[in-house]
Chains A and B, each alone.
Chain A
Amino acid sequence: MIYMRDQEVIVKVSLRKKVMGLMFICVFSTAMVFSLISIMNMRSRGEERIVEFHDWIISSGVHVDDIDAVVLKERATIGRQVSNSIIQYIVITMTFLIVLMILAYFLVNRFIARPIEAITGALKNFNNDLTITVPVTTADEVGELARWFNEHIGRLHQIIGKVSGITDEIHAHAGAIASTMDQQSGFSTQLSSSVVEISATMEEFSSTASQIAQHSQGVVERADKTLDDTKIGAAEVENLNFKINDISDNIQANLGEIVELGRKSKEINKVMEIINNIANQTKLIAFNAALEAASAGEAGKRFGVVAVEIRRLADSVVESTSEIEGKITEILDSVNRLVMSSEKSFQLIQEGQEYASHTVSMLIESVDGVDETASAARQISLSTQQQQIASSQVVLALKDIEQGVRFATDSIHQTNSATDELLGLSEQLRGLVITFKIGTEGDGGDGAVSGENR
Chain B
Amino acid sequence: MNAESGIRLAPVNGISALSHLFPAQKEQHINCYSLNLLLFSVCGVHFGVDAGQVSEIAVYAGEQAEDLFWFHEELEYGAAAAAVTYLSPTVVTIRTGRVQSYRVVIDSMEDIADFSQNDICLFPALLEPFTLQNGLWGILPRDGRMVLLVDFKRLLMHRHPELR
A and B associate in one complex: yes
Task: Give me the interface of A with B, judged by CB distance under 8 Å.
Answer: 280-281, 283-284, 287-288, 290-291, 293-295, 298, 301, 304-305, 308, 311
Binds A, one of B16-24, B55-63, B122-130, B145-153: B55-63
Minimum-distance CB pairs A-B, first 3: A290-B112, A287-B57, A294-B36
CA distance A389 to B56 in the complex (A): 116
Chain B contacts for A295, CB-based, 8 A: 52
Q: 14 A-B contacts, Cβ less than 8 Å apart?
A: A280-B59, A284-B58, A284-B109, A287-B38, A288-B56, A288-B57, A290-B9, A290-B51, A291-B51, A291-B112, A294-B36, A294-B51, A298-B5, A305-B9
Q: Are B57 and A284 in contact (CB under 8 A)?
A: yes
Contact A308:B59 (CB < 8 A) given known A283-B109, A284-B90, A294-B36: no
Contact A294:B52 (CB < 8 A) given known A280-B88, A281-B59, A284-B90: yes
| CB within 8 Å of A: which B51-97 residues | 51-52, 54-59, 88, 90
Q: Are A291 and B56 in contact (CB under 8 A)?
A: yes
Task: Give me the interface of B with A, judged by CB distance under 8 Å.
Answer: 1, 5, 7, 9, 36, 38, 51-52, 54-59, 88, 90, 109, 112
List 11 other contacts, CB 8 Å, given A290-B112, A311-B112. A281-B59, A283-B109, A284-B59, A284-B90, A284-B109, A287-B38, A291-B55, A294-B36, A294-B51, A301-B5, A304-B9
Q: Which residue of A lies closest to B7 (CB)?
A: A301
Q: Which residue of B lies closest to A290 (CB)?
A: B112
CA distance A308 to B90 in the complex (A): 18
Q: Which residue of A lies closest to B88 (CB)?
A: A280
CA distance A288 to B109 in the complex (A): 12
CA distance A309 to B52 in the complex (A): 20
Q: Which residue of A lies closest to B58 (CB)?
A: A284
Q: Is the interface of B mostly helix, strand, loop or mixed?
A: strand
Count A/B pairs, Cβ under 8 Å.
42
Chain A contacts for B55, CB-based, 8 A: 291
CA distance A309 to B57 in the complex (A): 17
Q: How far is the CB of B11 from chain A (nearest CB, A)?
A: 9
Chain B contacts for A311, CB-based, 8 A: 112
Q: How far is the CB of A326 from chain B (nearest CB, A)?
A: 15
Q: Which residue of A lies closest to B1 (CB)?
A: A294
Q: How far is the CB of A209 from chain B (nearest CB, A)?
A: 92
Chain A contacts for B1, CB-based, 8 A: 294
Q: How far is the CB of B157 from chain A (nearest CB, A)?
A: 22
CA distance A124 to B36 in the complex (A): 187
Most buried by B among A280, A290, A298: A290
Q: Are A301 and B9 in contact (CB under 8 A)?
A: yes
Q: Which residue of A lies closest to B111 (CB)?
A: A311
CA distance A291 to B59 in the complex (A): 16
Q: How far is the CB of A278 from chain B (nearest CB, A)?
A: 11
CA distance A342 to B58 in the complex (A): 45
CA distance A311 to B5 in the complex (A): 22
Chain A contacts for B109, CB-based, 8 A: 283-284, 287
Q: Are A294 and B57 in contact (CB under 8 A)?
A: no
